[in-house]
Structure 1
Amino acid sequence: MIHLHQIDPIAFSLGPVQVHWYGLMYLLAFLSAWWLGRLRIGAGRLPGVTMDGFSDLLFYSMLGVVLGGRIGYMLFYAFGELVANPLVLFKVWEGGMSFHGGLIGVLVAAAWWTRKHRLHFFDVMDFIAPLVPLGLGFGRLGNYIGGELWGKFTHAGWGIIFPHAPELADLPPEQLQSLYAQGLLDRFARHPSQLYEALLEGLVLFAVLWVYSLRPRHRYAVSGLFALLYGVFRFLVEFVRVPDNGLYVAFGWLTRGQILSTPLIVLGLALLALSRRAPVLQPQPAVEAAR
């Protein structure tokens, strides 16, 4: 089936304040990380860390995601726009967040928190990794609702027609509805690449990491599996997603997203290899959970 994208990006209004679905997706992402993290702390997956300590870690990680994600997006994908108007950096409600920038932000925040608590950096990373995928999934749902980061044209008899795509952006809503009802817009149907990523980077990655991390694993293993699978999933979906700014980086098919994901694949393989001789962190139930 071919559908016309007609979702209002504004979820609701509170007087003059408009609450966007994109912002709500970020709220759900942080709430899911908080809930899952408390479960893991209660199970002793980060020995010596209390619920309050985890709350601090989550707070700093949230800052890392937002600041790193936005700065990374502007540097990786919209540098010219940033140079022309530096204030665009603060227009987060318009969308435009980079996973790779957010990842760097989280790594910096976690490194600072880890040093303060005198823990091994990758013990913390192994703890955090299963908390991330659901947030990624919610973020991709936000992209879909906002009608951004759409895929390439599909001729498989199904897809999504995005009214904000360049070929349709000048048509008024009434004309779009009429043409859609007549089937005259079917040739503009695109892959809902946002939903592909929500499924792979969100649900599938979460299920794999959560089940894998239920048992104590060697240090580096959970982080390595996260980096490897995310890198592979993102690399594959890029083949049906319109490249950022419509430009390929090399060979007429390689996108910037694939370039940025390749180091993650290499890192994931390296961490998994390194984990074979690393110690296994044994759970120690948190004091709060025993009360």
Structure 2
Amino acid sequence: MLPIHIDLGFNEIHFYEGIYFLISIAIGIFISYKRVQKYKGEVDFFDGLITWSILGALIGARLSHYLFWNLDLFLDNPAVLFNLSGGGNSITGGLVGGMLGGMFFTRKKGLNYFEYFSLLSPGILFAQAVGRVGCFLNGDAYGVATDSPLGVHFPRYGTSLPSFETDFSVSSSAWQWSYEHGLVGLDSTVSAALHPTQLYEMFGDLILFGIIIWVFQKIWPDDKKSPLIFFIHTGGYSLLRFGLEFIRGDREFIAFSNMTNLQVVLLSYGIFTILYTIHYYKKRMRE
């Protein structure tokens, strides 16, 4: 694990997940571009599509982080949204924002959004998986304490770049959570054994990746504009994330029946995608 602090000279950004975020975006773009080339999409529109998708993802990831995890801070000072040295990014919000950005661009250019989402979906899912590896290395999105062999001890301190020196001034959120719950003492340099929910989600993303590839090969030759892949991707991820939230150590704001606000939204959307997909294909069968 490698939690990173970025020393800018005039400011230091602690536990900076942005490096891993950028790596995942670069990988996702590469895979998506190759797929658009291979399946003869409009390559000339690719730059615009990716630009709008990334812009939407960055805004959605940042905004969602504050809406679901630091709402009070955001309401007190909305400008914190633009503070690069504070807060984090939500993968769920990034996906929603990215989709909205992509929808805006394809509608503007008269393209079919579902067709392009089907092409980009595997790249997005693989990027999601890489992003969760980054969360694991950084110690973000950790799970609750566990006695199982899967438990991971996350480091208390991070490494400052470019000096590569350990910074003992700030403790990681995983260690802080462990300390606040009486699981470690002040002399500990690692957290308690916690569920590596980041890796659980990574494996879930890769399973969805395989399913999408299989479904794509089945439907692409005859139905390029089908929304099926869109709903498998977004609905599948929603249900995956819904389940994992129950063992997340940083879950807050219990809203209903031991579910957070985010879980209520994820479950509702996951059920909607299942019902809508069934309705869509029943309608297609009648035509």
Cα offset for 1:79?
1.4
What's the secondary structure of 1:148's corresponding residue? coil
Matches within 5 A, 1:12-91: 22-44=17-39, 46=41, 49=42, 51-91=43-83
Aligned counterpart in structure 1 of residue 230 of structure 2, from 195, 199, 223: 223
Matches within 5 A, 1:227-238: 227-238=234-245
Aligned residues of 1:235 and 1:261 also touching (Cα < 8 A): yes
Distance 1:156 1:35, change over 3 A: same
1:159 to 2:164 alignment: no
- What do residues 166-219 of structure 1 show as CA deviations (whole Å, max 9, x unaligned)? 3437955xx325xx7xxxx7xx32111111112213x22222212322343440
Aligned residues of 2:65 and 2:87 also touching (Cα < 8 A): no
Distance 1:226 1:158, change over 3 A: closer
What's the secondary structure of 2:49's corresponding residue? helix
| Other-structure match for 1:211 | 214
Identity score, percent: 23
- Name the aligned partner's letter for residue 216 of structure 1: I
Aligned residues of 1:21 and 1:145 also touching (Cα < 8 A): no
Distance 1:122 1:275, change over 3 A: farther
What's the secondary structure of 1:96's corresponding residue? coil
- Name the aligned partner's letter for residue 270 of structure 1: L
Cα offset for 1:271?
4.2
What's the secondary structure of 1:133's corresponding residue? helix
1:249 to 2:244 alignment: no
Cα offset for 1:276?
5.6
| Other-structure match for 1:176 | 188
Q: Output the CA distance in 2 between the equivalents of 1:67 and 1:43.
A: 30
- Name the aligned partner's letter for residue 177 of structure 2: P
- Name the aligned partner's letter for residue 235 of structure 1: F
Q: Output the CA distance in 2 between the equivalents of 1:29 and 1:56.
A: 19
- What do residues 257-283 of structure 1 show as CA deviations (whole Å, max 9, x unaligned)? 32121133123213432146559xxxx
- What do residues 131-186 of structure 1 show as CA deviations (whole Å, max 9, x unaligned)? 211222222223222222211111224412344233437955xx325xx7xxxx7x
Distance 1:97 1:193, change over 3 A: same
Q: Output the CA distance in 2 between the equivalents of 1:94 and 1:144.
A: 19
Q: Output the CA distance in 1 between the equivalents of 2:90 and 2:121.
A: 17
Cα offset for 1:60?
0.8
Cα offset for 1:80?
0.5
Q: Output the CA distance in 2 between the equivalents of 1:106 and 1:272.
A: 21
Aligned counterpart in structure 2 of residue 259 of structure 1, from 264, 273, 277: 264
- Flag the structure with higher strand content: 2
What's the secondary structure of 1:165's corresponding residue? helix
Q: Output the CA distance in 2 between the equivalents of 1:8 and 1:99.
A: 18
Distance 1:124 1:95, change over 3 A: same
- Structure ranking higher on relative contact order (CA contacts 8 Å, 6+ apart): 1
- What do residues 109-135 of structure 1 show as CA deviations (whole Å, max 9, x unaligned)? 122211222122322333332221122
What's the secondary structure of 2:177's corresponding residue? coil
- Name the aligned partner's letter for residue 48 of structure 2: D
Aligned residues of 1:152 and 1:240 also touching (Cα < 8 A): yes
Cα offset for 1:223?
0.7
| Other-structure match for 2:193 | 189
| Other-structure match for 1:3 | none
- What do residues 3-59 of structure 1 show as CA deviations (whole Å, max 9, x unaligned)? xxx63324x76877879762222222222222222222122363xx1x231111011
What's the secondary structure of 2:246's corresponding residue? helix
Aligned residues of 1:141 and 1:194 also touching (Cα < 8 A): yes
1:240 to 2:247 alignment: yes
Q: Output the CA distance in 2 between the equivalents of 1:43 and 1:158.
A: 39
